[in-house]
A and B are shown apart, each in its own frame.
Chain A
Amino acid sequence: MLKRRQGFSLIELLIAATIVAAEGALLAGGLLAANRSMDRRTEQALLTHLLASQSALLDSDLSDQTPRQGTFAAPLDEMAWSLEWVPMPNTSLVRATLTVEREGRSVNAVTYRRLAQ
C-alpha cells in the first residue's frame, strides 16, 4: 500500500516562491514607473507655467510674421521657447503657435491674434 504524501514538494515550493518574486518585481516596477510619471508631471507643470507667461506677453496685434525664439533665465536656461505665425487665409488673423521645450519634451499653445495694419 502506498504511503500518503504529506506537505509540499520542493518543486511546488520553488514555483510558489517564483510567483511571489515575480509579483513583487512587478509591484516594485509599477511603483518606479509611477514615480517617474510624477517627476514628468512636475516638469510638465513647469513648462506650462513658462508657456502661460510667454502667451501672456504676446501682443494683441501682431505686426510681423518672423518666427521668434529664446531661452529663459537661469536656472531654467535648459528650456527654450519659440513662436511661429501663420496668416489665416481671407481674414486679418494670424495663428500663433507658442512652444516651450526641454530636452525634446515640449508643450505648445495655439492662439489667434489680429494682424496689425
Chain B
Amino acid sequence: MVELMLAISLFAFLIGSVAGLIRWSLQLQTRWGAEQAPHQRLDRAFSDLARDVESAQPLFNVPVTGQAGRLELAAVERTGAGAQWRRVVYRLDAVESGATLVREAFQWSDPAEEAQPLTRTVLTPLDSLAFAFGMRNPDTQAIEWVPQWDGEQHGVPQLVQATCTLPAHGSQPPITITRVMRNPAGSLPVRETP
C-alpha cells in the first residue's frame, strides 16, 4: 500500500511538472507570436508596396502622385485574364487606434465615376506612415527626400521611401522602420533650389 501511494505521488508530481512546463511554453509562444505579428504584417505591407512601385509605369492620365500619406500610381497587374492596367492608390486612414494603410486598386477599364475599387487594408495598426521621393541635390549629387512628387512634371519616381512607425505592443516599444523601393525605369530628377 505504501509502495502504491509513493508511486502515485511521484507520478502526480511528474505529470504536474510536465503540464506546468507545457503550459508555460504555450503562454510564451502566444506572447512571442503576438509581439512578432506586427513585424510580419509590416513585412507583407512592404512587399506589396515594393511590388507596386517596381511595376509602376507611365500611363496617360494617371501620373504618379505622391504626398506624405498618399501614393497614387499606374501599374500593370498580371491576372488570370492576362495583364491589366490598374490605378493603385495607397492612402492612410485615421482610425481610433492610430492609422491604417489602405490599398485601392481601380480597373483601368472602369469609367472613373462608377469605378468600384478593390479595397484592402494593408497594414494596421500604425502610428504613422510617410512617403518620400528621391531627388538629387544639384550641388552634391547626394540623394535628398522630398515629401511630394509631381508625376506630370517628373514622371515615375525612381526612389520611393516609406517610413513607418509601429505602435508599442506588449513589451515592445514603438519602432520606426524605413524602406526604400526602387523603380529601375523611374526618374531621379535634380531638386530645384528656390
Q: Which residues of B contact A41 (CB under 8 A)?
A: 36
Q: Which residues of B contact A86 (CB under 8 A)?
A: none
Known: A21-B17, A53-B178. A34 touches B39 (CB 8 A): no
Interface size of B as a range: 35 or more
Total A-B pairs in contact (CB under 8 Å)?
93
Question: Is residue B46 within 8 Å, beta carbon to beta carbon, of the partner chain?
Answer: yes
Known: A45-B40, A49-B43. A14 touches B179 (CB 8 A): no
B182 A20 Cβ-Cβ under 8 A: no
Contact flags A106-117 to B (C-beta < 8 A → 1, else 0):
000000000000
A35 B29 Cβ-Cβ under 8 A: yes
Contact flags B25-54 to A (C-beta < 8 A → 1, else 0):
110110011001001100100100010000
A18 to B15 alpha-carbon distance, docked (Å):
10
8 Å CB contacts to A: which residues of B124-182? Answer: 143, 159, 173, 175-182
Question: Is residue B94 within 8 Å, beta carbon to beta carbon, of the partner chain?
Answer: no
B182 A45 Cβ-Cβ under 8 A: no
Known: A21-B14, A32-B28, A38-B32. A52 touches B175 (CB 8 A): no
Contact flags A36-51 to B (C-beta < 8 A → 1, else 0):
0011011001100100
B11 A25 Cβ-Cβ under 8 A: no
A23 to B19 alpha-carbon distance, docked (Å):
11
Question: Is residue A17 within 8 Å, beta carbon to beta carbon, of the partner chain?
Answer: yes
| Distance in Å: Cβ of A86 to nearest Cβ of chain B | 22
Q: Which of B21, B46, B176 contacts A28 (CB 8 A)?
A: B21
Contact flags A1-42 to B (C-beta < 8 A → 1, else 0):
000000110100110111011011101100110110011011
